[in-house]
Structure 1
Amino acid sequence: MYQKIYSLFASKALQKGLLFLLVCATLGGLISTLPLFDSFNRQWIDSAIRNNGALGVGYFIIFSAGAMAIGCPRQVMAFLGGYAFGFMQGTLLSVAGAVIGCTLCFFISRFLLRPFIKRRYAQQIFRVNDFLKDKPMAKTIVIRLLPAGNNLLTNILAGVTDVKARHFLMGSAIGYIPQMAIFALMGKGIVVLSIWKIGLSVLLFCISTALSVRLYKQYKHSKLIQVKAASPDSEPVRA
């Protein structure tokens, strides 16, 4: 039991994610409390985003989709969504922006940049294609649940693999939700200075990371077993 807990906290995915969560919380707290940012934070967000109706929602979705399409971490946009719109709406809008950004990258890579991407990232493409070729939607969900990783590179590499667009995009949309919800909750907690919301987001982040790492290892282990079973050198199983 203790060994499993230790291995979880020793994982690079959790350490990077917690560091990122801490950075978001610190920056959000500074923006919320320092007078220097008064004209930038609530006044600007209230006038341009939160109280601007459908136009404000449109601005946020376009901005978040464009930012994530060029490599902005999706957790940052979820944090800003929670800060501007609250937990529920911030989660939904940031997920929508992430899916749009993912779709743009995927199809640009597939139809416009395929020759360049295949030359530049041949080994990475092989690994991604090998991982996603069986149960692509479920495995895409697992990839998106992981807090670490390069979202932009994943979208680009997937675009030139054999995975079908609908499987990758639907898996991404579902897999984005837990992480986006956690960071949107953190953003909302910063706005209202709610310690319990911030603490809950950290707890949920740890749980989500533990589950995602476990699922990823299970898929990798099952893949290794399949490869060994298919090997001509493997011995037959005896009763």
Structure 2
Amino acid sequence: MRVFSSPADRRRALLALLGVLVGFVGLYVAVRQYLPFLMDARALRAWVAEFGPLAPLAFVIVQAVQVVVAPIPGQAIALMGGYLFGPVAGTVYSLLGVLIGSAIAFQLAKRFGRPFVERVFHEEIVAGFDGFVERIGVPGLFLFVVVPGLPDDMICFLSGLTTWRLRTFLPVMALGRLPSYALTVYAGDELANGRAGLALGLLALVAVLSVAGYYNQDRIRAFVESIAG
């Protein structure tokens, strides 16, 4: 099966991927040149540790807010989590924040209903996903959120419009989001340890998967529905 449905999609995907990679490299060079103290991961982690539990608490809050408000990509925050807290704690804090944000989005939609969700997202977009979560069920939702680049934050709101319970929804989100977040956190830890080549390789992998997912949303939705159905 082709990854992209047309040459135009393939060109757009390559340009987007190139932009992401250039952005990461540019950020790395800029930080190294103008904010060199951030390159001393050991000193930075020691400084963060001085704040005690406030540092991970603040990180978890930021990660939760990005799910509901989405001004910052969650992967960028996860990368910072790996750099500041290491692979294990960074993954735990990232996933905890994402799950808290997902639960808030789910409960807001459950409490205020479709009109609220249509104010957060355009009503035509919401209409395009009518019944999607109900049709695909638990296995389908896992397949949908495990692919980076798909609108998984929006799915949190849409899931709140279904008859699902929070105790069913959250484990699916945790398992589905874990792989890409763990990879990104690990990349952040590799940056902290001075292994920029491996870190950029991991970020490139996540970027490739994200771009492919973004430009194949409709095909992935159709595939998930066919499997779940």
The TM tier, using the shorter chain, reads: 0.7 to 0.9
Amino acid at match of 1:196: L
Classify 1:155/1:191 alpha carbon distance in 2 versus 1 (closer, same or farther; 3 Å): same
Q: Identify the residue that residue 104 of structure 2 maps to in structure 1.
A: 104
Greater RCO (Cα-Cα under 8 Å, separation 6 or more): 2
Q: TM-score, normalised by structure 2?
A: 0.73
Measured against aligned partners, the alpha-carbon deviations of 1:122-180 in whole angstroms (never above 9, x if no partner) come to 55445434322145222222222222234443322332234333332221111111111
Q: Identify the residue that residue 140 of structure 2 maps to in structure 1.
A: 139
Q: Identify the residue that residue 235 of structure 1 maps to in structure 2.
A: none
Task: Give the CA deviation at 1:81.
Answer: 0.6
1:73 and 1:45 mapped to 2: Cα distance? 22
Give the greater-gyration-radius structure (CA). 1
2:152 and 2:130 mapped to 1: Cα distance? 16
Q: Identify the residue that residue 180 of structure 1 maps to in structure 2.
A: 181
CA RMSD of aligned residues (A): 3.8
Amino acid at match of 1:185: Y
Displaced runs of 4 or more, over 6 A: 5-9, 11-15, 207-215
Classify 1:69/1:221 alpha carbon distance in 2 versus 1 (closer, same or farther; 3 Å): same
Aligned positions of 1:152-191 closer than 5 A: 152-191=153-192
Amino acid at match of 1:102: S
Which sits farther off after the overlay, 186-195 or 71-80? 186-195
Contact in 1 for aligned 2:63/2:97 (Cα 8 Å): yes
Q: Identify the residue that residue 69 of structure 1 maps to in structure 2.
A: 68
1:197 and 1:40 mapped to 2: Cα distance? 14
Aligned positions of 1:172-211 closer than 5 A: 172-194=173-195, 195-203=197-205, 206=208
Q: TM-score, normalised by structure 1?
A: 0.70
Contact in 1 for aligned 2:140/2:227 (Cα 8 Å): no
1:13 and 1:173 mapped to 2: Cα distance? 27
Classify 1:222/1:180 alpha carbon distance in 2 versus 1 (closer, same or farther; 3 Å): closer
Give structure 1 stretches of 5+ with no counterpart.
227-239
